[in-house]
A = this chain, B = another copy of it.
Amino acid sequence: MTNLTEQQLVQAYRRMKTIREFEERLHIEIATGQIAGFTHLYAGQEAIAVGVCEHLSDADSIVSTHRGHGHCIAKGADVLKMMKEIWGSTEGTCNGKGGSMHIAEVERGILGANGIVGGGPPIGVGAALASKLKKNNTVALSFGGDGSSNQGTTFEAMNMAVCLKVPKIFVMENNGYSENTGASYSSGGIDIAARAESFGMPVFKADGSDFFSVYDAANKAIEYSRRGDGPSVVYATMMRYFGHFEGDAQLYRAKDEVKNLRETSDCLDNFRTRVSDDKLLDLAVLDAVDDEVLALIEQSVQDAKVAPRGTLADVTKDVYINY
């Protein structure tokens, strides 16, 4: 039923769990007022980021969104540095310059979270174009939400990718909302995956609460693009567990929406059920992973709290390479 090795399964679970705990902990820490800025939590949608990124190596690239923690962790970003970045330390991923919305590890193929909705897809086309020109068999992905599918830049990127026939995968994450507005309203009730299809790209749909569903869809899309057939699309649906950003009162959501999601559509639960039903893994292995992840997150927060902060001299550093 699945051709994933045990090691791969454990890694997938570990990454989903790491994202989950990273976000759950941030939710708590942010409430204490220690973390500045806008933080958009990904919890709930972990299966999408991980289901997609498990197909990638460091040589492949992703471009993420404002809701980027999940994508970055799934692509292998350094969690300790990420936490420090979010706390604003000079030891963070971006030396405290970027924060939650701009986590990037370019040498690991993470071309940045992105605070501009629709900012990422054109950049992903460029990374894919580099793959094509270098003929190095890599692919590039960009993530985007239902909301971002209304931004003109997303369409331009899709058409450009088709025109230039680059190995680009558009991951469309429909989580039902763009900020406080329902996805169905924003698109006049019309299926947003159809937009991608209208450019002639194959669209592979997945249940975003099910790692295996996403993994399979992503496999097809990435294989299609990697073998040189041009861009493709992964379309996955799953709602977020938290507000649009931390501080969002979520009055646009029905009272029990998240409670129900957590009970019936949790990707970690689904994963555990599946691997146990299909006897793919011993659940005790995953319990051990849970402990390790919790310890890692605890450490990351302890480290971040005491990590050094920048000073005036740092402000004007790294605007240019030379000037």
Contacts and interface: CB of A to CB of B under 8 A. Distances in A.
A125 interface: no
A253 B155 CA distance: 28
Interface string A123-164: 000000000000000000000000000111111100100110
Nearest to A163: B188
Contact of A163 (B153, B154, B155, B185): B185
A241 B153 CA distance: 32
A198 B200 contact: no
A163 B151 contact: no
A180 interface: no
Interface string A149-189: 01111111001001101000000000000000000011111
Interface residues of A, number: 24
> Which of A150, A153, A159, A162 counts the most chain B CB atoms within 10 A?
A159
A220 interface: no
Contact of A162 (B154, B155, B165, B188): B188
Chain A contact residues, majority secondary structure:
helix
B194 A190 contact: no
A181 to B, nearest CB: 10
Contacts of A156: 150-152, 155
A197 interface: yes
A190 B199 contact: yes
Contacts of A163: 185-188
A195 interface: yes
Contacts of A188: 159, 162-163, 165, 199-200, 230
6 contacts: A151-B156, A159-B186, A187-B199, A194-B198, A195-B195, A195-B199
Interface of A: 150-156, 159, 162-163, 165, 185-190, 194-195, 197-200, 230
